[in-house]
């Protein structure tokens, strides 16, 4: 465990030299659509500048080190074809966050072409579960419901998300590490292949918490999209990826963790009043 900044290329190079590292799994990023409207520079630094420093540190290790990095379902942007497939265009991002993640994928192609860096980009679809981001729906809704605050339901509930439980995300990451050991470069959808209506998500969460939500219906914000839906056929064929956690089971597990684990207070303060954050 080393505390450091991914933008510190000297530190990254030193770690790669001192340790027999075979895989780099790069999950550090500034995530979220809505915050990118308020603080765009954070996305440029963390998602683009730091990523370039990492690629530069890796370019002389292309023969021995493979890269797995987090992309996002947000790269599909204003694409209207459903479900989203890896072959679909990502040239119409609807947020700066999506644009930075698309740029990461493009830079991975450049560094593969120039230096032979093998990589797998993972387009995660709305990850949830214990220790999840406090601004995402599962945590922020639960935080508000249990503390008697109203949740903000964007687009008046007319939204769908391909919620993917953390255990399934981890299985996709591990499988992509094996992929990198065999071949060159690719991107994969890591989702649940089953979009859930926002109102059904809330109903299931209420049932898991045994408490009703007070809802404040609001309009959809700039940069958001009404639906995400992962076509996981490519991930199944190449990685053997297969999600196994239903929304009912996943929210039961999340609710049990939230209600039992006092350590949640360490991140609870960052929840932003039940806002629905699309990723």
Question: Digits of tens for pLDDT over the chain (279 positions)?
Answer: 999 999 999 999 999 999 989 999 999 999 988 889 999 999 999 999 999 999 999 999 999 999 999 999 999 999 999 999 999 999 999 999 999 999 999 999 999 999 999 999 999 999 999 999 888 999 999 999 999 999 999 888 889 999 999 999 999 999 999 998 788 999 999 999 999 999 999 999 999 999 999 999 998 877 788 899 999 999 999 999 999 999 999 999 999 999 997 667 666 555 443 333 433
Cβ count near 242 (within 10 Å): 13
Domain coverage including residue 193: 9-268
CATH number at residue 15: 3.40.50.720
4 in any annotated domain = no
The pLDDT value given to residue 221: 77
2 in any annotated domain = no
Please check whether residue 160 is in contact with residue 198, taking contact to mean a CB–CB distance below 8 angstroms. yes
Position of tokens 């119409």? 92
Return d(Cα 167, Cα 257) in angstroms, integer: 14
State both tokens at 232: 């996981």
- pTM, two decimals, is 0.92
245 in any annotated domain = yes
Residue 94 — φ and ψ, nearest 5°?
A: -105, 0
Write down the catalytic residue from 97, 154, 165, 229.
97
Element at 51 (helix H, strand E): helix 50-58
Residues 6 or more apart in contact with residue 220 via CB below 8 angstroms: 154, 155, 159, 226
State both tokens at 248: 């009912």
Q: β-strands 119-124, 185-190: how paired?
A: parallel
Return d(Cα 151, Cα 154) in angstroms, integer: 9
Q: How close are the terminal C-alpha atoms of the chain, in Å? A: 28
1 in any annotated domain = no
Residues pairing with 215 in the sheet: 151
42 in any annotated domain = yes
279 in any annotated domain = no
233 in any annotated domain = yes
30 in any annotated domain = yes
Q: Say whether 97 is catalytic.
A: yes
Return d(Cα 34, Cα 256) in angstroms, integer: 28
Total number of domains in the chain: 1
């Amino acid at each position: 465990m080393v505390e450091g900044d991914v933008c510190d290329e000297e530190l990254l190079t030193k770690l790669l030299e001192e340790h027999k590292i075979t895989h780099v799994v790069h999950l550090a990023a500034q995530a979220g659509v809505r915050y990118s409207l308020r603080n765009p520079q954070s996305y440029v630094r963390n998602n683009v500048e730091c990523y370039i420093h990492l690629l530069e540190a890796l370019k002389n290790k292309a023969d021995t080190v493979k890269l797995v990095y987090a992309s996002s379902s947000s790269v599909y942007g204003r694409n209207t074809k459903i479900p989203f497939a890896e072959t679909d265009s990502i040239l119409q991002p609807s947020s700066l966050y999506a644009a930075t993640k698309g740029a990461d994928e493009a830079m991975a192609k450049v560094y593969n072409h120039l230096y032979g860096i093998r990589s797998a980009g993972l387009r995660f679809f709305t990850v949830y579960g214990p220790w999840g981001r406090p601004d995402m729906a599962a945590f922020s809704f639960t935080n508000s419901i249990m503390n008697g605050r109203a949740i903000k339901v964007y687009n008046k509930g007319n939204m769908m998300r391909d919620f993917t439980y953390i255990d399934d995300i981890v299985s996709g990451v591990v499988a992509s590490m094996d992929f990198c050991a065999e071949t060159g470069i690719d991107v994969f959808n890591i989702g649940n292949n089953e979009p859930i209506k926002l109102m059904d998500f809330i109903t299931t969460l209420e049932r898991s918490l045994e408490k009703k939500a007070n809802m404040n219906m609001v309009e959809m914000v700039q940069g958001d999209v009404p639906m995400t839906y992962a076509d996981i056929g490519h991930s199944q064929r190449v990685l053997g990826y297969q999600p196994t956690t239903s929304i009912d089971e996943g929210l039961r597990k999340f609710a049990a963790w939230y209600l039992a684990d006092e350590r949640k207070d360490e991140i609870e303060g960052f929840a932003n009043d039940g806002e629905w954050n699309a990723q």
